């Protein structure tokens, strides 16, 4: 079984470890032992293929930058987590994103931006669109608002990053780089998508980097997005049973 090393990055206190626990354990347990061997390993089916995910979480060692670099160096996909209740945690992600790109030596790294604690509506300080802009600046549509408490989009972010890794792998193994459209994999079904008021403009999370890099970060229009959205809808139909979300 193919193993995927997913690195979870973000400032302390954004609840990123709760996301890892929620994902690897399935539910919020009464009793969770973080010291045992397979605490952060989880097997999931992505599009019918079993994958083993090893989650590397910098929880508690955010300060020890040298250690973080080691994690990044070994990671294949990255979850960048901030808290919707803490604006500074979003700002810190830019530095982390740069570090990931620098260490990986490329800007096309499998990456997902996740705004955690979205269940705390009353304490929200980061609007949905602001983070979405940032994701576009990074050239990705893979942005979700999550809640480790309620489980919203928790598995989606991990599945999304695995898909991105798979896509990158197949793209690099393919001799013709232009076949990217063939290797594009359907994204999570619509009902799993965010139900924010702006839901209609969110669109799919296909990370067609060429397309998004063409769109300048400021200019992405509603129309452009809804095109993606409708395309996504068609794809979804085709994907049907392939899309296995835990």
Partner 1 sequence: MATDGIHSIFPPQERNYVAYYPFLRATHSFNPAVLESPVAGGCLDFVAGDLILLHSIHATGWGDGTSLSTNKRGWIPSNYCEPYDIPQVRPLLVAILNALVNPRADDGRSSQVAVTTIVSGVRNLLDGTDCLTRDSPLVRETEAINKSRRALLAEVSALVSCVKRQPPDHSISEDLVHRAHRVLVCAAAFLDTLDLDEYSYLPSPPPAEYTFETGSSVDGGGFAGPSLTFEYQPVSALARLNFLYDAALVCLGSFLNSSYVDTRAPAKLLLTTRRAAHACRELLAVVETVSSRASPIVYSLEEAKEAMYDRITAIVTAARDVVAAQCIENNGPESLLTESQNLIDAIVACVRTAGLCLAKAKYVLDRVGDFELEIDRRYLDYQLRSQLGESRRSSSKSESSYGMTAATSLDDEPWNLAPVSVSLPSDIEPEFKGKKTRTPLQDRIVFNADGQVQGGSLEALVKQLTANNAAPDALFVSTFFLTFRLFTTSTALAQALVHRFSSLSPDEPNVLAVRLRVYNALKGWMESHWRMETDNEAIPIIVDFAHGSLKSMLPFASARLLDLSKKVVDCDKPLVPRSMSKLGIDTSLGILLPDSSSVPTPIVNKLHLAIVARYVREGELPPSILDFDPLELARQVTVKESRLFCKIVPEELLGQEFSKKAGKSTAVNVKAMSSLSTDLANLIGESILAGDVPLKVRMNIIRHWIRVAEKCLELKNYNCLMAIACALQSSVILRLKKTWELLPPRYHSLFAELKGIIVYEKNYASYRTLLRNTSTPCIPYLGVYLTDLTFADEGNSDFRTFHPDMEDSSPIINFDKHVRTTKIIADLQRFQVPYRFQEVPELQAWLDVEIQRVHDMYLEDQHVLYRRSCMIEPKAGGTQAYGGIGAGIDVSAVTEGVSWSEERASG
Stretch that binds partner 1, among 23-31, 191-199, 203-211, 232-240 (CB under 8 A): 23-31
Work out which of 45, 69, 119, 169 binds partner 1, going by CB under 8 A. 69
Quickly count: other Cβ atoms within 10 Å of residue 16's Cβ.
Answer: 27
| C-alpha closest to that of 87 among 57, 115, 121 | 115
Taking CB under 8 A as the binding criterion, the range among 39-47, 124-132, 170-178, 188-196 that sits at the site for partner 1 is: 39-47
Region near partner 1 per CB under 8 A, out of 45-53, 70-78, 218-226, 229-237: 70-78
Residues forming a β-bridge with 61 = none
Kindly state whether residue 37 participates in binding partner 1, applying the rule CB under 8 A: yes
Applying CB under 8 A, which of residues 47, 87, 103, 239 lies at the interface with partner 1?
Answer: 103
Identify residues 106-125 at the interface with partner 1 (CB under 8 A): 106-107
73 binds partner 1 (CB under 8 A): yes
- For the beta carbon of residue 9, count every other beta carbon within 10 angstroms: 26
Q: Which of residues 177-236 bind partner 1 (CB under 8 A)?
A: none
Asked whether the beta carbons of 81 and 14 are under 8 A apart, the reply is yes
Question: Token digits for 151?
Answer: 């489980």
CB of 213 to partner 1, least distance (A): 10
Choose one: 33-41, 44-52, 120-128, 189-197; the region binding partner 1 (CB under 8 A).
Answer: 33-41
Number of H helices and number of E strands within the chain?
8, 6
Alpha-carbon separation of residue 94 from 64, 113, 213 (angstroms): 18, 11, 17
What whole-number distance in Å separates Cα of residue 43 and Cα of residue 50? 7
Strand, coil or helix: 204: coil
Rounded Cα gap, residues 158 and 180, in angstroms: 21
The residue from 59, 120, 198, 239 that contacts partner 1 (CB under 8 A) is 59
Q: Which of 4, 6, 9, 15 binds partner 1 (CB under 8 A)?
A: 15
- Sequence-separated (6 or more) residues with CB below 8 Å from residue 43: 1, 50, 51, 52, 53
Q: What does the binding site for partner 1 look like in residue numbers (CB under 8 A)?
A: 12-13, 15, 17-18, 20-21, 25, 28-41, 54, 56-67, 69-71, 73-74, 98, 101-103, 105-107, 148
């Amino acid at each position: 079984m193919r193993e995927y090393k997913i690195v979870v990055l973000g400032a302390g206190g954004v609840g990123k470890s709760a996301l890892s626990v929620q994902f690897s354990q399935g539910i919020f347990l009464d009793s969770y032992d973080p010291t045992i061997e397979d605490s952060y390993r989880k097997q999931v089916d992505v599009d019918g293929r079993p994958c083993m995910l090893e989650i590397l979480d910098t929880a508690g060692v955010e300060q020890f930058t040298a250690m973080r670099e080691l994690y990044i160096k070994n990671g294949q996909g990255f979850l960048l987590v901030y808290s919707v209740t803490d604006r500074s945690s979003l700002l810190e992600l830019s530095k982390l994103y740069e570090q990931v790109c620098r260490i990986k030596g490329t800007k096309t790294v499998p990456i997902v931006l996740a705004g955690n604690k979205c269940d705390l509506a009353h304490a929200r300080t980061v609007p949905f669109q602001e983070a979405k802009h940032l994701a576009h600046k990074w050239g990705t549509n893979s942005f979700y608002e999550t809640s480790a408490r309620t489980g919203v989009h928790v598995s989606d972010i991990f599945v999304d990053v695995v898909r991105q890794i798979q896509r990158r792998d197949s793209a690099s193994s393919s001799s013709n780089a232009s076949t990217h459209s063939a290797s594009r994999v359907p994204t999570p079904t619509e009902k799993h998508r965010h139900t924010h008021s702006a839901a209609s403009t969110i669109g799919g999370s296909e990370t067609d980097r060429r397309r998004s890099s063409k769109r300048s970060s400021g200019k992405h229009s509603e129309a452009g997005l809804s095109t993606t959205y409708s395309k996504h809808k068609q794809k979804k139909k085709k994907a049907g049973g392939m899309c296995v979300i835990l």
